[in-house]
C-alpha cells in the first residue's frame, strides 16, 4: 500500500479549493469568526454529525443537504452555535446557505453551514452574511488563506488546527488536507468539534462516506463518546477529483490508500485537539490492553480519560495510579487487580498487587513532569486494546468555562 506523507498545509492544499476567514463580529469585534470554503466545481461529499438528540439547526439543515452527496461550499461561524433556537434558528441556517449560494453563484442545494459557540442565541444574520461577503472577497489558495479559515472557527481553542498528507493512488499524487476546531474538555462532555476536510481524490460520495466513518472511528471517536456529544459536532469532507486518479467506487487497494491518508489527517487533528484541551497543561494517551474484549478496553480507557480525579492528578504531577485503577474498576470492564499492571511511559506504578515504593514513586514523578506521556493499563485477561487521547484538568479549565458566556 502507498506511503502516507505529512506535508504542511490545510483545507486549501488539495487541488480545486479556496478558502478565507473574515471578521463578522458575531460575538466579538475584530476577530475572524466567519470561514468560507469553496470548491471550483461541485464535489462528491460526505459528513458525519453529532448523535446528540438536541441537534443544532445547522446540523438539522446539513443532514438534508448531504443526502444529495454533492457539495460545493461550506459557510462556518464561531461565536454562536445556533442551537436550541427552534424553527427560527432553522430558518436562519437555511437563509445563510441560500444567500451564500446566491453570492457564489452556485446551487443552494450544494451549500453546507456550520456553527459553534454559545447555545440558545439566534445568529446575528446581518453580521454573519456581511462576514460571508467579506470572506468571499478574500477567497484564495495560499496557506495563509487556509490558516485564516482555520482561525475563524476557533472558540476557546488557543491554536488553529490543520493537517495535510499526500499519498499515491495509481500513478497520481492525491492530497488530503483539513482543519478543525475543538478544545473543549472533549471527554466527558465535549464542547463542539468541527472538522473540514478537502481532497482532490476522485472518489464516489458513497466510498467517501465509508472512508470518513472509518477514519472518525480511529480518531475523533477516540476523543468523543457516542451519545456524549455536543449539539453541533460535525465533520465534513469534499472531494474535487482533480488529482485525476481512476475514480474510487469500491473497496480495494486504491480505497485503502485513500482511507489511510484520511485517517492520518483525522488522527493528527484529533491529537491537536486533545493537546489544546481547555486549560490543558498535559497531553495524555491512555492505552488499555490485555482486556477481555476491545469493548472492555475502550470502556476502561474512556473511564480513565473522563475521571476528574485522574485528570486533576496529572495536573498536579502526582503519580496517583490508584485513581487510574479505581476508574477501571467502575468502568464496567472485567478487571482482576491481582493480574493488572499500570505503567506511566513504561515506568511501572502497580503490578499484580505490588505497589510502587518511595523510590519507584520518584521515578514516576519524573514522568509526570513531562508535557506528554502515556498511561498503559495491562489487564492480562485477553487481547482487547484501545487508546484514547486526552489531557489533564487544570485550574485554568474551570476559569475558562466559568466565564464563557458572559
Q: How far is the CB of 23 from a copy of itself (least distance, A)?
A: 24
What single DSSP character describes residue 97? H
From 125-133, 141-149, 165-173, 351-359, give the range in contact with a copy of itself by CB under 8 A. 351-359
Among 25, 31, 69, 84, indicate the residue that binds a copy of itself (CB under 8 A).
84
Instruction: List alpha helices for 105-195, DSSP H.
Output: 125-138, 143-152
Q: Is it true that the peptide bond before 188 is cis, omega within 30 degrees of 0?
A: yes
Instruction: Kindly tell me which of 176 and 347 has the beta carbon lying closer to a copy of itself.
Output: 347
CA distance 180 to 186: 13
Count the neighbouring beta carbons within 10 Å of the beta carbon of residue 86.
9
Q: What angle do CA 196, 129, 150 make, to 5 degrees?
A: 25
Among 8, 102, 251, 308, indicate the residue that binds a copy of itself (CB under 8 A).
308
- Cβ within 8 Å of residue 89, ≥6 positions away: 56, 57, 82, 83, 122, 123
CA distance 345 to 367: 7
CA distance 155 to 242: 33
| Cβ contact 44:238 at 8 Å | yes
Among 17, 49, 258, 321, indicate the residue that binds a copy of itself (CB under 8 A).
321
For residues 38 to 77, the per-residue mask of contacts with a copy of itself, x marking binding by CB under 8 A and - elsewhere, is -------------xxxxx----------------------
DSSP 230-298: -SS-EEEEEE--TT-PPPB-SSSHHHHHHHHHHHHHHHHHHHHHHHT-TT---EEEEEEEEESSHHHHH
| Cβ contact 209:46 at 8 Å | yes
SS3 call for 202 = coil
Q: In DSSP terms, which residues pair with 175 in a beta bridge?
A: 166
Instruction: Kindly tell me which of 171 and 406 has the beta carbon lying closer to a copy of itself.
Output: 406
Among 70, 91, 118, 133, indicate the residue that binds a copy of itself (CB under 8 A).
118
Among 41, 142, 158, 189, indicate the residue that binds a copy of itself (CB under 8 A).
189
- Residue 326 binds to a copy of itself (criterion: CB under 8 A): yes
| Cβ contact 238:205 at 8 Å | no
Among 246, 332, 372, 383, indicate the residue that binds a copy of itself (CB under 8 A).
332
Residues in region 191-250 near a copy of itself by CB under 8 A: 191, 227-231
Q: How far is the CB of 279 from a copy of itself (least distance, A)?
A: 9
Residues in region 262-281 near a copy of itself by CB under 8 A: none
| Cβ contact 290:383 at 8 Å | yes
| Cβ contact 230:154 at 8 Å | no
**Among this protein's residues, is 192 annotated catalytic?**
yes
Instruction: Kindly tell me which of 256 and 365 has the beta carbon lying closer to a copy of itself.
Output: 365
Among 256, 294, 334, 374, indicate the residue that binds a copy of itself (CB under 8 A).
334
Instruction: Kindly tell me which of 28 and 404 has the beta carbon lying closer to a copy of itself.
Output: 404
Q: Which three cell numbers stand for residue 60?
A: 438539522
Instruction: Kindly tell me which of 102 and 308 has the beta carbon lying closer to a copy of itself.
Output: 308
Among 29, 30, 86, 171, indicate the residue that binds a copy of itself (CB under 8 A).
86
Closest by CA position to 26, among listed 82, 83, 102, 80: 80
Instruction: Kindly tell me which of 6 and 330 has the beta carbon lying closer to a copy of itself.
Output: 330
User: Catalytic residue among 85, 166, 175, 192, which?
Assistant: 192
- Residue 387 binds to a copy of itself (criterion: CB under 8 A): no
Cα–Cα separations (whole angstroms), residue 274 to 127, 135, 280, 315, 389: 31, 29, 8, 14, 6
- Residue 404 binds to a copy of itself (criterion: CB under 8 A): yes
CA distance 344 to 177: 33
Q: How far is the CB of 119 from a copy of itself (least distance, A)?
A: 3
Instruction: Kindly tell me which of 128 and 333 has the beta carbon lying closer to a copy of itself.
Output: 333
Instruction: Kindly tell me which of 389 and 397 has the beta carbon lying closer to a copy of itself.
Output: 397
- Residue 371 binds to a copy of itself (criterion: CB under 8 A): no
List the catalytic residues: 192
Q: Which residues bind a copy of itself (CB under 8 A)?
A: 51-55, 81, 83-87, 118-122, 184-185, 188-189, 191, 227-231, 306-309, 312-313, 315-316, 318, 320-323, 325-330, 332-335, 337-338, 350, 352-356, 393-395, 397-399, 401-406
Amino acid at each position: 500500500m502507498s506511503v502516507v506523507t505529512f506535508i504542511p498545509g490545510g483545507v486549501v492544499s488539495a487541488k480545486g479549493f479556496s478558502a478565507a476567514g473574515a471578521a463578522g463580529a458575531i460575538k466579538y469585534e475584530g476577530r475572524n469568526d466567519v470561514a468560507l470554503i469553496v470548491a471550483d466545481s461541485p464535489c462528491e461529499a460526505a459528513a458525519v454529525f453529532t448523535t446528540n438528540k438536541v441537534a443544532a439547526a445547522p446540523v438539522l439543515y446539513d443532514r438534508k443537504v448531504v443526502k444529495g452527496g454533492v457539495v460545493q461550499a461550506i459557510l462556518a461561524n464561531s461565536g454562536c452555535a445556533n442551537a436550541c433556537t427552534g424553527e427560527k434558528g432553522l430558518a436562519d441556517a437555511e437563509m445563510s446557505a441560500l444567500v451564500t449560494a446566491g453570492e457564489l453563484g452556485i446551487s443552494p442545494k450544494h451549500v453546507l453551514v456550520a456553527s459553534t459557540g454559545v447555545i440558545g442565541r439566534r445568529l446575528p444574520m446581518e453580521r454573519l452574511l456581511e462576514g460571508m461577503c467579506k470572506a468571499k472577497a478574500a477567497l484564495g489558495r495560499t496557506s495563509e488563506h487556509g490558516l485564516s479559515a482555520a482561525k475563524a472557527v476557533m472558540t476557546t481553542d488557543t491554536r488553529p488546527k490543520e493537517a495535510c498528507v499526500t499519498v499515491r493512488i495509481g500513478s497520481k499524487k492525491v492530497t488530503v488536507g483539513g482543519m478543525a476546531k475543538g478544545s473543549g474538555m472533549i471527554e466527558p462532555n465535549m464542547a463542539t468539534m468541527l472538522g473540514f476536510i478537502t481532497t482532490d481524490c476522485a472518489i464516489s460520495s458513497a466510498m467517501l462516506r465509508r472512508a470518513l466513518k472509518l477514519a472518525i472511528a480511529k480518531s475523533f471517536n477516540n476523543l468523543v463518546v457516542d451519545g456524549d456529544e455536543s449539539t453541533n459536532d460535525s465533520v465534513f469532507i469534499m472531494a474535487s477529483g482533480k488529482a485525476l486518479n481512476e475514480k474510487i467506487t469500491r473497496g480495494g487497494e486504491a480505497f485503502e490508500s485513500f482511507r489511510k491518508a484520511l485517517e492520518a489527517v483525522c488522527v493528527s487533528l484529533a491529537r491537536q485537539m486533545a493537546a489544546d484541551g481547555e486549560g490543558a497543561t498535559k497531553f495524555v494517551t491512555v492505552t488499555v490492553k490485555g482486556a477481555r474484549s476491545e469493548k472492555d478496553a475502550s470502556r476502561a480507557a474512556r473511564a480513565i480519560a473522563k475521571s476528574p480525579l485522574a485528570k486533576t492528578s496529572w495536573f498536579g504531577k502526582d503519580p496517583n495510579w490508584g485513581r487510574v485503577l479505581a476508574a477501571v474498576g467502575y468502568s464496567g470492564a472485567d478487571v482482576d487487580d491481582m493480574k493488572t499492571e499500570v505503567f506511566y511511559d513504561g515506568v511501572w506504578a502497580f503490578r499484580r498487587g505490588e505497589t510502587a515504593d518511595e523510590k519507584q514513586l520518584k521515578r514516576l514523578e519524573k514522568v509526570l513532569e513531562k508535557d506528554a506521556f502515556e498511561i498503559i493499563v495491562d489487564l492480562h485477561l485477553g487481547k482487547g486494546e484501545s487508546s484514547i487521547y486526552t489531557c489533564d484538568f487544570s485550574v485554568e479549565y474551570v476559569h475558562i468555562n466559568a466565564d464563557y458566556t458572559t
